[in-house]
Copies of this chain bind each other. A is one copy, B any other.
Amino acid sequence: MSSINLKRLSQELGLSISSVSKALRDSYEISAETKKRVLEMAEKLNYQPNPFASSLRRKKSQSIAVVIPEIANNYFALAINGIQTVAQQKGYHVLTYLTHENSKDQDSTIKHLQGGRVDGVLISLCSDTANSQQLTDLQSAGFPVVFFDRIPDSPGCPTVSTDDFDGGFKATEQLIKTGCKKIAYLRVAGYLSTTENRMRGYLAALDRYNIPQNPKLIIECSNDDEQNQEIIKKALKMRGRPDGILSSVEKLAISTYYACGEINLKIPRDVKVISFSCLRTASLLSPSLSTITPPAFEIGKEAASLLFRMIEKKMFGNRVEKTVIKSVLIERNSSRK
């Protein structure tokens, strides 16, 4: 069956071309009912969006934006490499913006990006994102947005992430298998999908192995390294101190090493440590750090590919892609028996 154009589709539906176009872009201006009708007809008649015509209509910036929350994290360096690989093939420019874990910076960046400076946005949310409404609105208005790594809960958003639950579960299981009975979970303040899902995995593993949950062992840290070292030191000095630590982000694992050094606890003899991390020096540390390593490069590549499918209108309607790529557990000396 040959493909048809937008005009033919609008005639079949008895709707204006503009309304059909908006419905295909999942615009908030069109009712859910109409969208459904349009999509069904588009599928029936084998409608294929014409990316060339669409690029003529819209002034293209040939740029995409990457919005990330922090820089002292190798994860984002690797993810950006993955993004660049795809963008270069497409002849696109990548503009990177930092939000410094600050939702005001994030809001202002997004507002700025709506102005047509870029053709699409890849974003990893900052830890104090109260809600991602602004972003989902942007996306509903037909602007291509893909979330990666730290993603919103909203079901309507295209996302690329790792299986954080699975990573949290496996890391905890590894600590249990080496004999840990009092496993602490180090989390950062604020709400992040990654932190929450990793913690759910941690709790599920405790349940599976009949280890009672202890709220005192869920330790909330901040964005300040010195402060975190004190928080962790305090936790390691309390009665019934942890004999294993699962760190949800790499900077807290580094703080744990320093904290242990200060109070003369030996890793892994006195306390075993494992961390979500892409740290380049993980295997060079003394002792080498066991990690759950998210596939940062692949996540970046996949997120960029998805964004370009959206920019080039190779997908339409309310089909939402949610890609999940597993992390890898790498056992090193910090969690050995």
Residues of chain A at the chain B interface (Cβ within 8 Å): 70-72, 74, 76-77, 80, 84, 93-98, 100, 104-105, 108-109, 112, 117, 225, 251, 254, 257-258, 279-281, 284-288
User: Contacts A98-B96, A100-B84, A109-B95 given: A285-B280 contact, CB under 8 Å?
Assistant: no
The answer to whether A254 and B280 touch across the interface, beta carbons within 8 angstroms, is: yes
On whether the beta carbons of B94 and A97 are closer than 8 Å, the reply is no
Residues from chain B with a CB closer than 8 A to the CB of A72 are 74, 77, 280
Residue in chain B with minimal CB distance to A78: B72
Alpha-carbon distance A279/B281, docked complex (angstroms): 10
**Cα of A280 to Cα of B279 in the assembled complex, Å:** 11
CB <8 Å contact, A97 and B97? yes
* Chain B: CB-nearest residue to A63: B108
* Distance in Å: Cβ of A116 to nearest Cβ of chain B: 12
Which of B84, B95, B280, B285 contacts A97 (CB under 8 A)?
B95
Q: Give the 8 A-B residue pairs with the shortest CB-CB distance, closest first.
A: A286-B286, A72-B77, A96-B98, A71-B71, A281-B281, A71-B77, A284-B285, A257-B284
B84 touches A94 (CB 8 A): no
Specify which chain B residues have a CB less than 8 angstroms from the CB of A258 in the assembled complex: 284
